[in-house]
Chain A
Amino acid sequence: MSKNVIYEKLVEIVGKERVSSEDFELYAYSRDLSPAKPKLASFVVRPEKAEEVAEIVKLANEHKTPIYVRGCGCSHWAAWLPLKGGILLDTTSMDGIVAVDEENLTAVVECGCTWFKLMEELQKKKLTYLSSEMGGPAMTIGGSVIKAGGGPYGTCKFGFHGQMDVLGFEVVLPTGEMVKTGSWVMPNVVPFRREGLGPDLTGLLIGSEGIFGIITKIALRVRPLPEHEGFLYFDFADWENVVKVGDAVTRCVGDEMAYSLDCGESVAEPGKVGVRIYIFGYDKKIIKYRKNKVRELCIENNGKEGDAKRASEFFNKVVSGLPDIFASGVWHFAATGAVPIHKIPKFVHAWREIIKKHDFTKSTFGAWAFPRGWTIYAHLLYSELTEYEKLMVVSDELNKKFFEIGFVPYGIGGPEGLQPYIKRRWGQYYKWIRKIKHSLDPNNILQPGILVEGDREC
């Protein structure tokens, strides 16, 4: 089928103003946060509602044309780059806040709504959501949730998005049908509970990187705004002691002592680990108690207390945007994934060795705690014009080493993400995901080449 026919049909569905196949437009949509090389779609389309998304998916099936789904495009695993061309579906025209239910403490948003926009709306009602990433103002809730995102903000207590916060989805399946998940499925029931309907199909979609369906709406748990908060900053001379603090803070599972625990060592100051802690709650006395308790813990483990402003300034800007992020170069998160609570030191040693071997001077090893684990990452800053090749070598070595030691990748993405490192290791599990993918998406329409490779090429 010719390109023109697909273009015309897309125009029929969304209108002329919302489709483009201009070469410059395709370049504008050709890269994400990762160092992956540009990939070009054939069309970009901006639907405004779920029904249009469903029509586009049906059209793609009819013409066996791939669809790649993009929120604000700032994720970092080449997880939406149009590897095989086709239609790039930009969700950002669906950015509404559908409802905030103050009684049930839920919010329903369209997939292209940003966390920041939701946060501002919730604050007007003295509410907030918890668990969030540090991806800045433009990250969409759809993109964030579908990749099971989670940053240092709130994760120590609440884990990644999806562990507690996501109550259900409205989703367009890869064959174009629209379904809802969670209690939303039931007639006359609002989205307030995820479980109780057989297997957790909301969970199937979280972390799926868009290969099982296009999320159009999301129901989220919200909470009253914390009334009190406390910040602490500590320096440690080794990671062993930091691990002890992380262990103690997350030991009373469900009643973690801190809300955020974020740690980092930079190449510039080897062996020095800065730890930022955020504690919040609704009772002043409890916050005071927890803050003192965490402080005691840090001191017991040889931490040296520093200016708490270093923590408050960081956490207060996590959602709105951290400053000077590219002052020393463009970002790349290599070797990002989760490890059990006691396992950090081995990774730090590996990172130090590889960075030293290549004399890579702009890097940080970071970790943030979640209940009984850490997300660790090797943050690399580079100049695209002069350090690209070196970056790719260092990144590859770090990825290989971290997988060899044993960690769970945080995001997987495409062949220029972490996909090449997991395929061999997943064995039967990989085949299982592929089977699900084939049964849901027989034409391999949605995100082909992302997360798993498909059997049939579009």
Chain B
Amino acid sequence: MLIEDYKEQIYNCGRCGYCIGAYLNHTCPSRFIAGFESSTGRGRMLIAQALLEGKLEYSENLVFMLYTCFLCGACSTKCELAAKIKIVEITKAMRSDSLNSGIQLEKLVPGAKAIIEHHNIYNEPSEKRTAFLTSDIKISEKASLLYFPGCVITFRYSNIARNALKILNMANIDVTVLGEEEWCCGNPLYFMGMTEAAKKIAQHNVEKIREKGAKTVLTSCAGCYRAINQDYKKILGQPLPFNVVHITQFLDKLVNEGSIILRKSSLKKITYHDPCEIGRYFKIYEEPRRIIQNVPNLDFVEMPKHGDNSWCCGGGGSVNIVHTYQALKVGELRIIEAKETGAKTLVTACPSCVQMLELASKRKRTGMKIIDISELVLDALRT
């Protein structure tokens, strides 16, 4: 069992409940949708103990429960004060172990199959991977900077990639892409504990990026950023031959250096949603806020839950595939929180967050506009 690797941590859970937080039903989105203790970090440590001691075996219902976890990291952040247990990693290891014990949820099969067979989550043909590259965008065949859009942006939110690349063009930065050679980053496979399949993908993408001569991989997707930056190293067992940078870090640097100057915004009052996979995982909190604050006269307001205390959009951990309706509830709670700030636009920095929050916004009829940070920047460059 993979959870054996975490045995010491699992038994170092002192059952303090810090991970559940003071707002018992609104700190952990898994507990918010499932309600029982098994949906919390603490509960999972006790389940892991029972599994390690052979008192409990994986069952389909247990796996269903594991898929109420958005892998958002809120519990791990709270546990930093207690035992510093890697709750998310342990949950992923449990998902892997359950798969190895022969239990795979049917709902997860098509997505996994699409990635393995077609190298993207939507079963789209590889040729479509370059469709977003319109004639007004300049791309080099090889460059030291490689933009990695990932599946959601490529096939559903290509405007995010175009915006990012247009900004790079405006700043005269040479950039390349993998195009048809790009494969899904593999993030969903890590969430599903399918490490072998994920390894193949990591090998492919690393090789192709190397062939392009890239020294830096830039992405606008929080999931791709985390997978490439964190999981690739782990799964390949070696350092990557390139740096991985998220668009918020990159744009922040450009603004800071004066390579781009943000002039004016056409946006009214805005708020910012921290994507879990760049926020709690990598503490990228200051960079997007600095960008926003550099836009003159932009009215910015924080949601009560932000930074380490941010609330997941509902798109994390593949929960939306297994518990679609409940995952939406998580997104709805977030969009209501955003609406209550009085903001008209919600800015974020991950296409999955944009997708979930757009859906939640429609369902709740908030009338809010959900945009990626690259749109905010491009708007401020043009206006």
A117 at the interface (CB under 8 A from B): yes
B111 at the interface (CB under 8 A from A): no
B243 at the interface (CB under 8 A from A): no
Interface string of B10-45 (1 = CB under 8 A from A): 011111111011111100000000011110101110
A5 at the interface (CB under 8 A from B): no
- Inter-chain contact A92/B24, CB cutoff 8 Å: yes
B82 at the interface (CB under 8 A from A): yes
Known: A22-B38, A95-B25. A33 touches B81 (CB 8 A): no
**Among the listed B7, B13, B56, B82, which residue makes an inter-chain contact with A24, where contact means beta carbons less than 8 Å apart?**
B56
The segment from A185-193, A211-219, A323-331 found at the interface with B is: A323-331
- Inter-chain contact A116/B22, CB cutoff 8 Å: yes
CA distance A33 to B18 in the complex (A): 12
CA distance A90 to B49 in the complex (A): 21
The segment from A135-143, A259-267, A413-421, A439-447 found at the interface with B is: A135-143
Which residues of B are found within 8 Å of A117, using beta-carbon distances?
Answer: 22-23
A44 at the interface (CB under 8 A from B): yes
Known: A18-B35, A385-B7. A24 touches B47 (CB 8 A): yes
Known: A138-B24, A329-B12, A385-B11. A22 touches B17 (CB 8 A): no
**Among the listed A23, A32, A138, A331, which residue makes an inter-chain contact with B21, where contact means beta carbons less than 8 Å apart?**
A138
Interface string of B265-294 (1 = CB under 8 A from A): 000000000000000000000000000000
A69 at the interface (CB under 8 A from B): no
CA distance A31 to B43 in the complex (A): 9
Residue of B nearest to A118 (CB): B22
**Among the listed A24, A321, A323, which residue makes an inter-chain contact with B50, where contact means beta carbons less than 8 Å apart?**
A24
CA distance A38 to B20 in the complex (A): 20
Residue of B nearest to A319 (CB): B22
Which residues of A are found within 8 Å of B36, using beta-carbon distances?
Answer: 20, 25, 28-29, 44, 46, 90
B322 at the interface (CB under 8 A from A): no
Interface size on B, residues (CB 8 A): 39
- Distance in Å: Cβ of B61 to nearest Cβ of chain A: 6
- Inter-chain contact A25/B37, CB cutoff 8 Å: yes
Interface string of B301-319 (1 = CB under 8 A from A): 0000000000000000000
- Inter-chain contact A28/B37, CB cutoff 8 Å: yes
Which residues of B are found within 8 Å of A32, using beta-carbon distances?
Answer: 15
- Inter-chain contact A46/B82, CB cutoff 8 Å: no
- Inter-chain contact B59/A24, CB cutoff 8 Å: yes
B108 at the interface (CB under 8 A from A): no
Known: A72-B24, A138-B24, A326-B82. A30 touches B46 (CB 8 A): yes
Within 171-199 of A, Cβ neighbours of B (below 8 Å) are at none
B55 at the interface (CB under 8 A from A): yes
- Which of the four size classes fits the interface of chain A? 35 or more
Which residues of B are found within 8 Å of A136, using beta-carbon distances?
Answer: 16-18
A17 at the interface (CB under 8 A from B): yes
A114 at the interface (CB under 8 A from B): yes
Residue of B nearest to A114 (CB): B22
Known: A24-B47, A24-B62, A323-B81. A93 touches B38 (CB 8 A): no
Which residues of A are found within 8 Å of B82, using beta-carbon distances?
Answer: 321, 324-326
Chain A interface mostly: loop
Within 304-359 of A, Cβ neighbours of B (below 8 Å) are at 320-327, 329-331
B235 at the interface (CB under 8 A from A): no
A87 at the interface (CB under 8 A from B): no
A432 at the interface (CB under 8 A from B): no
- Inter-chain contact A385/B81, CB cutoff 8 Å: no
Which residues of A are found within 8 Å of B50, using beta-carbon distances?
Answer: 24, 27, 30, 38
B141 at the interface (CB under 8 A from A): no
Which residues of B are found within 8 Å of A60, using beta-carbon distances?
Answer: none
Which residues of B are found within 8 Å of A327, using beta-carbon distances?
Answer: 83-84
Which residues of A are found within 8 Å of B7, using beta-carbon distances?
Answer: 385
Which residues of B are found within 8 Å of A384, using beta-carbon distances?
Answer: 11-12
Which residues of B are found within 8 Å of A139, using beta-carbon distances?
Answer: 17
CA distance A74 to B83 in the complex (A): 15
Interface string of B328-355 (1 = CB under 8 A from A): 0000000000000000000000000000
A163 at the interface (CB under 8 A from B): no
- Inter-chain contact A321/B62, CB cutoff 8 Å: no
Known: A92-B24, A117-B22. A33 touches B14 (CB 8 A): yes
Listed from nearest, the 3 A-B pairs whose CB atoms lie closest are A28-B43, A116-B22, A138-B17
Give chain A's interface residues, CB within 8 Å of chain B: 17-18, 20, 22-25, 27-33, 38, 44, 46, 72-74, 90, 92-93, 95, 112, 114-117, 120, 135-140, 320-327, 329-331, 383-385
Task: Sample 8 A-B pairs with CB under 8 A, ordered by A number.
Answer: A27-B46, A28-B43, A30-B46, A74-B16, A92-B25, A137-B21, A330-B12, A383-B12
5 additional A-B pairs beyond A24-B61, A117-B22, A327-B83, beta carbons within 8 Å, are A28-B38, A72-B17, A93-B25, A93-B35, A138-B17
Give chain B's interface residues, CB within 8 Å of chain A: 7-8, 11-18, 20-25, 35-38, 40, 42-44, 46-47, 49-50, 55-56, 59, 61-62, 65, 78, 81-84
